[in-house]
Structures are given as structure tokens and as C-alpha cells.
Structure 1
Amino acid sequence: MLAAPDNNKRPLFTAKDLNTFYLENGPNIFPRKKARFLTPLKKLLGVFKGPKYDKIKGLTDDVRIKDTVTNIVVLAVDVKYLQPVFFTTYEAKNEPLKNLVDGGVAANNPTMVAMTMLTKEVLRRNPDFNMEKHSADYRHYLIISVGTGSSKQAEKYNAHQCAKWGLIQWLYHGGFTLIIDIFSHASSDMVDIHVAVLFEALQCEKNYLRIQDDSLTGKMSSVDIATKENMESLIGIGKALLKKPVASVNIDIGVYEPVAGEGTNKEALARFAMKLSEERKLRKSNLNS
């Protein structure tokens, strides 16, 4: 949404507009079922009826990646060849149509996708990027990875329960699609671990900032419950997260723990913003010299 253009090729939305946007339009994007009492089987069958969130197209004027106001990369999966595709703004301008589905089935955390595509453009000598050879060195990268929250601390199930399940229970149980959640969370966490270890090995761990809340519970851990009460709760969680200390995942127990001496997420974001501002000034100075 932040990259969607208006009629003047400027951002259609600003970051501060997003809360208001979802409070006003969330119920239309994520409509609630009229029937109050549905059996688990009926709920499961509803998943196979077709796209659930197609109403968002009318709110963004059918914007395509080639139209975005800044360069973005979206991981997708080619349904013809069943392989991941890095769909970028650059490529979309040359090949606007592809047969793709959501890349979350391949990489739910796109951090390494962005790193790979940036490196690819540097090696291709893309003039929009620093053309010096060392620019492809990860020690020169700044990565801000923002998660969408998870409920891994909720401890919903145990091995004794799961051992008795059949196909239906693994697909849908207690209002959650467990097997899909396992794939998506594990995929996301593995990327976080890989990037964190990589940056630590290169002695530039302060260049990687992961902001995530893994303590969501109940309705707040769902991605499509757009009641005013739930969305306001999520907004509150987001604001509180800024005041929490910078954290990284503990590989042994799989939960986030504070990083000593790094301050709060808000302070870390301010440091990143300062670095980016200084880099922009340097580039403008080089262009004018």
C-alpha cells in the first residue's frame, strides 16, 4: 500500500494513514461470516470456495507492481512451473503479466529475498545502485525486518493431542489452520535465524533489526478478524512494541529476548533513519560534484 501511486505518481497512502485506512475499510476487506454457528467442516469447505479478500482491488485501483512509486520486490510462485519467482518493479515494466500465486507458500519472511534481489541488481551494474564492487558486501546493508506477529508463546497444542488427529484436524482445528501455521511460522523463523547469524558472523549485527511480537493470543493472532475492537487492540500492541527493547530470537528456545545495550525499537529505528539520511545526503553530494 505504501508503494501504491496516486494520480500525481506520489504515494497514495502515508504510513500514518494505515491505521485509519484499516479501521474504515477492514470490515470490507475481511468480511465476517453472517452465519453465527458453523461446523468445523463447513468452515473448512469455505476455504475452497475461492478468493477471500478480492475486495481490496477496488481500494487500490488495481495497481500493478510496474506502477509502484518505489522499487519493491514480491516473492511469488509460478503456477505453471511450480517454482519461486522474484517479481520486481524493474522486471514488471518489461514483462507485466505472469501466472503467479502468493509467495508466502515459499518464503513467508521475504528478508533474504530482498537481500538477494539487491545483490543481483548491484552485480548487474544497475545504475540506480552503488556500482562499486564492495557494495554487494552484506556489511554495507541495512535491514529492517518487521513481522506481523505470532502466537508461538500461546502453546496451543501438545504432541499427545496432535497424535490423535487426522487430515481434517491438521488442516483446521479450533479456528486455526495448524499445518499451514507451522509451515509459515517455521519458514519465517528460519530466515530470521539465518540472517541474524550471517550478520553476526560478519560482525555487523547492528545492521539487522528484527521487530516482532511473538506473544499474541486469541483473536489478535488471526490475520483476518477486522472488528473495531480487535484492530484497536493490534494498534495498541504495535505502539507498545516501539517502546519494548530491541530483541533477537533465542535459537535454543525459539522466542525473542532483549539485546543488551541496544535500547528500544523506537530508538533503533531512529538510528537507522539517521544512517539512511546521511547516506542520501552523501549520494546527492556525489551527484552534484
Structure 2
Amino acid sequence: MAPDFGKGKVITILSVDGGGIRGIIPGTILAFLESKLQELDGPDARIADYFDVIAGTSTGGLVTSMLTAPNKDNRPLYAAKDLTRFYMEHAPKIFPQRSHFLSSVVNFLGRVIGPKYDGKYLRSLIHELLGDTTLKQTLTQVIIPAFDIKRLQPVIFTTIDAKWDELKNPKLADVCISTSAAPTFLPGHEFQTQDSKGNIRKFDMVDGGVAANNPTLAAITHVTKEMSLLWHRNELLNIKPMETKRMLILSLGTGAPKNDEKYSAATSSKWGMLDWIYHGGAAPIVDIFSDASNDMVDYHISSIFQSSNHKKNYLRIQVG
């Protein structure tokens, strides 16, 4: 963590959910927040200057990377105001739309025989945006979940791990492509890292949303682990590792249109395997798992902060 991590300061955490094109929602919120910070501290103020940890899954991982990747002056590569423009400009090419009839046929067949989108434009764009920047170079600590489909286990990419282990220091572009590889929508991503001794680690990744679409809990766990290490090394004096009063958390959702009531028990009781994968232009099984994960994480964290009398230290913003 940062050098003053164990000196009694409040640890500030920003977390951004996954949600595809709906990443424009947290992008808009962050642009507003950054504009207010600039009114206080000047036009060069950036989101990364104010958060010790920034976590993001899927589209949130892309937001995280754009806000924390360094430019040639070692300042954030992008301002928060650039996020909205990014989604407006590139989303139609990342998620191309077809005519209604053709779209329905192609989408159905695509879900059966392959992902809905080929991901070529997104991969090319991410490589262009981030270049050869590696995970350890981020300007603040980042946490980006993905899922290794070969090992059937989550992989949490973090700046702190990347600084200690060359095999955990991939290109930031590979991390972004991995955490965005939503099953049925985009293809998985395979890459490898190599250390100075020639050791190789292979990654077979899909979207981090299958494990932690809301990465707030992953961020808290990461901070708690680092605090515990400092505690055991006697570098964290008179402070317990899990102290909610020392954490200030902003968790941003990507919208949850629950009032739409798209599905019902009566309807779903007639579904077969294909209907769960594709129904009415959506992927019900993906929607259900991601929304359930988001809400359970929020419920768990809000309960912890309320029970410790520090509920004002945790703010969840979700558009319903």
C-alpha cells in the first residue's frame, strides 16, 4: 500500500461495478465528482489523487484503468470527464446493432454457437488506450477481479501483488480485456506473464463479474489483508486490521432496472436451457447472477458499517 497506509489515516476506497455500456452511469458520477474536486483544488485534480484504492470489475475495470494509468508526466492518462465521451463514441462499435429481425436471429444463433460480439474492436481499442503499461505502474492501488476458467477460480489483479511478483504483473490491457470478457457476450482472453528467471504463468480468463460484479468487498478484503500484515509486523500500532472508522468507501453501481420486472416465476418455469441463456434480447442467467451478487455485497457491507456505528463511511450509489 501507500507509505502512510499504517499511520492512522483514513483509507479511501472507490469501487465501480460491472455492467457493459452502463459504465456510462458511474462515468457521469465520477465526472461530476472530479469537477467539484477541481473547484476546490484546481484544474489538475484527478480522481486517482483522492482514493488509496480503486476497484473495478468488467466495465468498471476499464474505468479503473483509464483513471489510474499514467501518462508521460506520470499523471492520470484520462480525466473522469473523458469517460462519458469514451462510451458515447466507442460503444456502438464495441456492441454493434443490427436490424431488429436480423438481430434476433443472429443473437439467438450467436448465443448457441459463439459469443454475441467478436470483441476485436474492444481489444484493439484497449491496447491502443493502455499500450504497454503494466499493472504495477498504476498511480494508485487498483483491484480488478477476473475469473480463470481453466482453474475455475477467481483471480484478483492488484497493484500491490504486481509490485512484489513479476508473474502477477501483466499488461493493464490484458487485465482489462480479461475482466470484460462477459460469457455469451464476448470471447475469453488468454495471455501469459514471464519473470526474470524465465518462469511462465498462463491465464485463461473470463469476466470478473462471474465472481465479483460488485468489487467493493474484494477491495475491503484486500485492505484488511494489508492492514493485518502491518499489524503482525508491529507497523500498525494501536489499530485493529478491520476498523470501519478508518475506511471511507464510495461504491458505484451501473444501474439496476428492477422496476422493469422483465422476468417472472410463471414465465421462467417454462424455460429450457436456451431460454435462460437468451430471452427477449437479454441473458437472464447473467442478469440474475450479477444483480444478486451486487445486492448481496451491498447488504453485507452496509450491515457491517451500520453495526459498527460508521454507516456514513459507506456510500452506495445505484440507479434503480
TM-score (norm 1): 0.66
What stretches of structure 1 move > 4 A for 4+ residues in a row?
A: none
Aligned residue number for residue 176 of structure 1: 282
Match of 1:12 among 77, 85, 91: 77
1:189 and 2:253 correspond? no
Q: Aligned pair in 2 of structure 1 residues 63, 152: CA closer, same or farther (>3 Å)?
A: farther
1:38 and 2:102 correspond? yes
2:143 maps to a residue whose letter is V
- Unaligned runs of at least 5 residues, structure 1: 215-289
1:121 and 2:229 correspond? no
Deviation for aligned residue 1:180: 0.9
Aligned residue number for residue 304 of structure 2: 198
Counterpart Cα distance in 1 of 2:237 and 2:220? 17
Aligned residue number for residue 27 of structure 1: 92
Counterpart Cα distance in 2 of 1:158 and 1:190? 20
Counterpart Cα distance in 2 of 1:145 and 1:116? 15
1:139 and 2:260 correspond? no
- Unaligned runs of at least 5 residues, structure 2: 1-65, 170-192, 194-201
Counterpart Cα distance in 1 of 2:236 and 2:155? 25
Aligned residue number for residue 161 of structure 2: 91
Counterpart Cα distance in 1 of 2:238 and 2:273? 51
| Structure having the higher Rg | 1
Secondary structure of 2:251's counterpart equals strand
Deviation for aligned residue 1:27: 2.8
Aligned residue number for residue 285 of structure 1: none
Deviation for aligned residue 1:133: 4.8
Render the CA deviation track for 1:163-192: whole Å, top value 9, x for unaligned.
111111111111110111001100110000
Q: Aligned pair in 2 of structure 1 residues 131, 103: CA closer, same or farther (>3 Å)?
A: same
Aligned residue number for residue 125 of structure 2: 56
Counterpart Cα distance in 2 of 1:39 and 1:194? 39
Counterpart Cα distance in 2 of 1:152 and 1:201? 27
Q: Aligned pair in 2 of structure 1 residues 74, 51: CA closer, same or farther (>3 Å)?
A: farther
1:184 maps to a residue whose letter is S
Match of 1:152 among 254, 258, 267: 258
- Does the CA-based 8 Å contact 1:40-1:172 persist in structure 2? no
Render the CA deviation track for 1:256-277: whole Å, top value 9, x for unaligned.
xxxxxxxxxxxxxxxxxxxxxx
* Structure ranking higher in strand proportion: 2
Aligned residue number for residue 216 of structure 2: 111
Counterpart Cα distance in 2 of 1:165 and 1:39? 21
Secondary structure of 2:155's counterpart equals strand
1:139 maps to a residue whose letter is K
- Does the CA-based 8 Å contact 1:40-1:173 persist in structure 2? no
Secondary structure of 1:72's counterpart equals strand
Higher relative contact order (CA 8 A, sep 6+): 2
Match of 2:139 among 63, 69, 72: 69
TM-score (norm 2): 0.60
- Does the CA-based 8 Å contact 2:97-2:103 persist in structure 1? no
2:102 maps to a residue whose letter is L
1:196 maps to a residue whose letter is S
RMSD value, Cα: 2.2
Counterpart Cα distance in 2 of 1:110 and 1:17? 23
Counterpart Cα distance in 2 of 1:133 and 1:123? 12
* Percent identical residues: 44
